Amino acid sequence: MMKRIFIFILLTGLIVSCKKETSSGFVINNNLQINDTTWNNSSSTQSLAKEITDDISLTELVDTLMVSNVGFDDDDKIFNNDKYRVSIPKNSLVNSITNKTFIKGAVKIKMQATTTKGNFIRNFCTSFVNGHQNQSVGFFNVRLFYNDTLMNIKAGSYIHLLVKDSLINPNSRYVSIFKGNGYDITDDNFKWSMDSSSYKNLAYWDMPGSNNHIGYDIKLSKLGWVSLLAPDNAVPNPNNKINVYMPVNFTNKNTVVYAVQNGTKNVSRLNADFPSRTFSLANLPFGQNVTLVSISKIDNQYYLGYSTVNYSSNKTIFNIIPQEITIANVIDYLNAL
Amino acid sequence: MKDKQFDNIFKDKLNSYSSPVPADMWERIAQDKRKKRPVAFWFTNTAYGLYALISILLITGGAFVWKHSDNNISNSIATNSSITNNNNSNANNHISKNSTKDNSTIKESNNNVVSSGVNSNPDKEISTSPKIESAENNNTIIESESKKAVVSEKVSSKKSIHNKTTLLLVKQPQIIGSKVASKSSNIADNQNSTISYKADAGNIVVEENTENIETKPLSELALVKSDRIKLALAKLNAAFKKPNHFDCPGDKNRQDRNWYLEVYGSPEYNFKSVTSNGTSSNYLQKKDSAETMLMGFNFGVRLMKNIFSNVYLKTGVQYSQYNEQFSIQRENEHITTTVIINKVINLPQGDTTISDTSTLTQVGYKYTKTVNQYRNIEIPVILSWRNEKVDNLWNWSLSGGVIINAYSWNNGSTIDTSLGIVSINSKGSNTYTSAIGVSLMAAASIERKLTDRWAIFTEPYFRYGLSNSIKSKFGFEQKFNSLGISLGVRLKLGNRQQY
């Protein structure tokens, strides 16, 4: 009996004293986007684009115009600068809901105006439209409201948007008006279409009493996105294609990549190439010094990657390694682009 | 008053109580006497010493008698004695020497071995067992009528029943003295003469019946005197020396001289207190949330010894181990792995394959779980008051003392001030330094006898750390408190008792 008690106590003590539990490990949090290294087979960029533009897009310009029933005043300045002007003829607006003609009153104008390459990216704009690289004067999104009700331009009528552009392309005669099919440029269904009547609807904005062109005078028959694009001089060939690959964590679910041509206002957004898990763009002409810019938003954390490359027939595949960065630094970088 | 009444009840009930004496009592007494050495006049217990003493007394006594031979001798023996000469019914001198203390008197019972009764027929030999005969005459002193001896005593009101029992035991060795004295007296007296006495440390009563002392020759008279001196010395020995006791249940004067060995083990619930020594409360909060005390244990062995009354001293060595679960989960941990990517890219010129090194970053949480172990070699020094009764199966005790942390070592992990995981291993790490800690311990114990030597016990205890046993370089100190219940066995080493 006593021996058993002795043995029990001793064994228990020895066993417990020698027992040691140590474990350590790493558990991947599958709820985090960064751990999702899969690519989206679809070409949809809508959700990501919305997320990014919500964070870095330009602030909308807002002003109020007094619309009268006696005619239009083309001297109205808007947004407290002389860079943009809007002229609204009488009886040219209708209520978008009731379709009734707006007679007179205070109309609120909201406009997104992107005229630099960095701003193009901030507003998710690309000058590579319909398979062609273009130079862009700018992208403008004009909306008019009366008592917070969206107004439309009355059929057969138009309003004028005057935009100053100090860098009017020498080939400005080739500048065309491109109209978006909506107000949301991030929508997957958003498309640009060239206004075949641009030759009638687009004029120079000249200084009063002179022939000095200071900008463009755009007749808008429809509110929403409008852009002035001029085809690039470079002629694409069938072999033009640029590919960009990135670390595994950067996929088309969280990253957008742009090719910014140095020296001209060409900003082309690359598309996701699902089979190769790269970002690519065909018909981008060789012979350009291109700055490749990637913006990634993963788990509310921004990553910025950029690299200036000589895109040529000799090298078409490039690698970008993004770095973690703040939104402010992303905007600063884009503003300086 | 109640005490006296209570005592009186026992006194009345037990006044004439006689208890049987074991058959081997005499042997035990004789054996014990051989072992024990008197405190004073020890030389009288050896033959040579006794002869020397007798010789000295004879010489001095002879000289004294010779010098005072013209005078009638009126003997007196022993100091502090009152001498009364009485004529007994047979016209013999009866010398009664009483020495009393504390108002105690001792009465003789009819069955008393040491009887003061006078043999009415001096020529008749009374043979009893044990019988001691003198070779010098035909007279035989009455030693006892039976082996049963009863000494009844009127004790003071302060005496308890235990005193009664003790008295019996106390008187046993004095019976020997009485026998010796009686034998010597018998040698000296040709007439019927008996000497009896009863004595303990506090009370000596000698009754002597002497006949015709005046008629004795001088040499015989000297011998009688020497016997009486020896008798007095024997009584003094009996008074001086510590009483010999046998294992007697319930004797309050019993002192347990045994050593005990206890082997015990205990699960215990530990909890620690951490005090800041310059570190931030945020850090301590993080540390506290990462560490949870688990059940600990200790086991050890200790010796126990009675030091006085019912108080025992326990000391030994024990091993204790505090277990603590260290569990920390750190979120948003990034692990970046270099990978080789192979891509097949569809180009207008044809497919091309690229192979490059890239990185894969994974984000999650890191967890670390370990059991921190704080191990200690400790020395308990405990005083225990035991309510032990020999005839009880169950006994209990209360204990308290200190536990000195003699040596400590740790292993496991903790967090540093940057919330990184660091080792607390004693080897290869200076995260913790162990200090000599002192804990207070209080316990209550219940024990059960299994056999005369073995007992099991259980002992709930609480242990409070007085000093910080661990000091951290991160600016905090911590000490441990424990609540546990020991289970153990106790082995009595030897079988010695002292009264």
Per residue in A218-240, pLDDT (tens digit) is 888 888 999 988 887 777 777 88
- Once rounded to an integer, what is the mean pLDDT over residues A24-43? 88
Integer CA distances (angstroms), B338 to B359, B362, B455, in order = 4, 11, 68
B212 has a pLDDT exceeding 90:
no
pLDDT band at B459 (very low <50, low <70, confident <90, very high): very high
Quick check: B265 and A277 CB within 8 A? no
Query: Which residue of chain B is at minimal alpha-carbon distance from A241?
Result: B347
User: Does residue B310 sit at the A interface (CB-CB below 8 Å)?
Assistant: no
Report pLDDT for B389: 76
User: Does residue B265 sit at the A interface (CB-CB below 8 Å)?
Assistant: yes
What percentage of chain A's residues is helix, strand, coil (to nearest 5)?
Answer: 15, 45, 40
- Structure tokens given for B271: 């909890």
Report pLDDT for B463: 93
Nearest to A291 by CA among A273, A272, A310, A313: A310
- Once rounded to an integer, what is the mean pLDDT over residues B361-367? 89
- Once rounded to an integer, what is the mean pLDDT over residues B159-164? 38
B398 has a pLDDT exceeding 90:
yes
B415 has a pLDDT exceeding 60:
yes
Quick check: B348 and A17 CB within 8 A? no
Would you give the distance in Å from CA B330 to the centre of its chain?
59
B240 has a pLDDT exceeding 50:
no
Contacts A9 to B, Cβ<8 Å: 263-265, 299, 487-488
- Structure tokens given for B47: 């033959």
Q: What is the number of other CB atoms lying within 10 angstroms of the CB of residue B384? A: 20
Chain mean pLDDT for chain B = 67
Residue written as tokens 């002193």?
A: B141
- Once rounded to an integer, what is the mean pLDDT over residues A156-163? 86
- Once rounded to an integer, what is the mean pLDDT over residues B445-473? 88
B408 has a pLDDT exceeding 70:
yes
Asked whether A162 and A205 are in contact (CB, 8 A), the reply is yes
Higher-confidence residue of A15 and B336: namely: B336
The secondary element (H helix, E strand) that includes residue A129 is: none
Q: What is the number of other CB atoms lying within 10 angstroms of the CB of residue B446? A: 13
B336 has a pLDDT exceeding 80:
yes
In a 3-state reduction of DSSP, which class is residue B202?
A: coil
Quick check: A9 and B263 CB within 8 A? yes
Contacts B330 to A, Cβ<8 Å: none
Quick check: A317 and B358 CB within 8 A? no
Report pLDDT for A308: 94
User: Does residue A336 sit at the B interface (CB-CB below 8 Å)?
Assistant: no
pLDDT band at A45 (very low <50, low <70, confident <90, very high): confident
Q: Provide CB contacts within 8 A for A336, sequence distance 6+.
A: A118
Q: Residue type for B371, please? A: V
Residue written as tokens 């091309």?
A: B352
Sign of the dihedral through C-alpha B113, B118, B120, B126: positive
Report pLDDT for A77: 59
pLDDT band at B140 (very low <50, low <70, confident <90, very high): very low
pLDDT band at B276 (very low <50, low <70, confident <90, very high): confident
CB nearest B346 (choices: A24, A245, A275):
A275
Q: What is the Rg, in whole angstroms, of the alpha carbon atoms belonging to chain A?
A: 28
**Percent above pLDDT 70 for chain B:** 49
- Structure tokens given for B88: 């007994």
Report pLDDT for A1: 62
The secondary element (H helix, E strand) that includes residue A41 is: none
Query: Which residue of chain A is at minimal alpha-carbon distance from B264?
Result: A9
Report pLDDT for A10: 65
Distance CA A282, CA A128 (A): 10
Would you give the distance in Å from CA B191 to the centre of its chain?
51
Task: Determine the straight-line distance between the first and last CA of chain B, rounded to whole angstroms.
Answer: 29
The secondary element (H helix, E strand) that includes residue A14 is: helix A2-18
Per-residue model confidence as pLDDT tens digits over B419-434: 888 888 877 777 787 7
- Give the side-chain half-sphere CA count within 13 A for A211: 0
Rounded to 5 degrees, φ, ψ at B267 are -80, 145
Distance CA A262, CA A264 (A): 6
A281 has a pLDDT exceeding 50:
yes
User: Does residue A277 sit at the B interface (CB-CB below 8 Å)?
Assistant: yes
pLDDT band at B303 (very low <50, low <70, confident <90, very high): very high
Contacts A26 to B, Cβ<8 Å: 333, 335, 362, 364-367
pLDDT band at B475 (very low <50, low <70, confident <90, very high): confident
- Helix (H), strand (E), coil (C) string for B99-146: ECCCCCEEECCCCCCCCCCCCCCCCCCCCCCCCCECCCCCCECCCCCC
State which of A75-89, A200-214, B480-494 shows the largest mean pLDDT.
Answer: B480-494
Distance CA B453, CA B215 (A): 62
What is residue A299's DSSP assignment?
T
Q: Provide CB contacts within 8 A for B76, sequence distance 6+.
A: B83
Q: Provide CB contacts within 8 A for B194, sequence distance 6+.
A: B115, B116, B117, B118, B119, B141, B142, B182, B185, B208, B209
- Once rounded to an integer, what is the mean pLDDT over residues A44-52? 84
Give how far B359 is from chain A: nearest CA, Å.
5
Give the predicted TM-score (pTM) of the model.
Answer: 0.56
Q: Provide CB contacts within 8 A for B208, sequence distance 6+.
A: B77, B94, B95, B96, B97, B116, B185, B193, B194, B195, B196
Report pLDDT for B283: 87
Chain mean pLDDT for chain A = 84
Nearest to A55 by CA among A117, A127, A124, A141: A124
In a 3-state reduction of DSSP, which class is residue A195?
A: coil
Residue written as tokens 């985090």?
A: A32
Asked whether A284 and A241 are in contact (CB, 8 A), the reply is yes
Nearest to B436 by CA among B374, B484, B482, B378: B378
Quick check: A5 and B456 CB within 8 A? yes
Give the lowest-confidence range in A42-51, A308-317, B93-102: B93-102
- Once rounded to an integer, what is the mean pLDDT over residues B410-421? 86
Contacts A24 to B, Cβ<8 Å: 366-370
Contacts B370 to A, Cβ<8 Å: 20-24
Would you give the distance in Å from CA B34 to the centre of its chain?
24
Higher-confidence residue of B435 and A281: namely: A281
User: Does residue A19 sit at the B interface (CB-CB below 8 Å)?
Assistant: yes
Instruction: Enter the ipTM.
Output: 0.78
Distance CA B208, CA B115 (A): 10
Distance CA A265, CA A208 (A): 28
Nearest to B188 by CA among B109, B95, B100, B79: B95
Report pLDDT for B224: 61
For chains A and B, count residue pairs whose Cβ atoms are closer than 8 Å. 126
- Once rounded to an integer, what is the mean pLDDT over residues B126-144? 38
- Structure tokens given for A49: 């684009």
- Structure tokens given for B467: 């000093």
Distance CA A129, CA B488 (A): 90
pLDDT band at A137 (very low <50, low <70, confident <90, very high): confident
B309 has a pLDDT exceeding 60:
yes
Torsion of CA A82, A85, A90, A92, to 10 degrees: -170
In A91-110, the residues whose Cβ lies within 8 Å of chain B are none
Distance CA B235, CA B266 (A): 54
Distance CA A118, CA A293 (A): 10
Per-residue model confidence as pLDDT tens digits over B171-184: 343 433 334 344 44
Report pLDDT for A171: 52
B200 has a pLDDT exceeding 50:
no
Report pLDDT for B158: 39
In A34-63, the residues whose Cβ lies within 8 Å of chain B are 34-35, 37
B74 has a pLDDT exceeding 50:
no
A165 has a pLDDT exceeding 50:
yes
User: Does residue A33 sit at the B interface (CB-CB below 8 Å)?
Assistant: no
- Per DSSP bridges, beta strands A317-319 and A241-245 are parallel
Contacts A249 to B, Cβ<8 Å: 359-361
Nearest to A307 by CA among A248, A245, A264: A245
Query: Which residue of chain B is at minimal alpha-carbon distance from A32?
Result: B363
Give how far B366 is from chain A: nearest CA, Å.
4
The secondary element (H helix, E strand) that includes residue B232 is: helix B218-240
Report pLDDT for B153: 39
A202-229 in b/e burial notation, b at 16+ Cβ within 10 A?
bebbeeeeeeebbbbbbbbbbbbbbbbb
Integer CA distances (angstroms), B357 to A39, A249, A292, A316, A321, in order = 19, 13, 20, 18, 11
B3 has a pLDDT exceeding 60:
no
Quick check: A248 and B341 CB within 8 A? yes
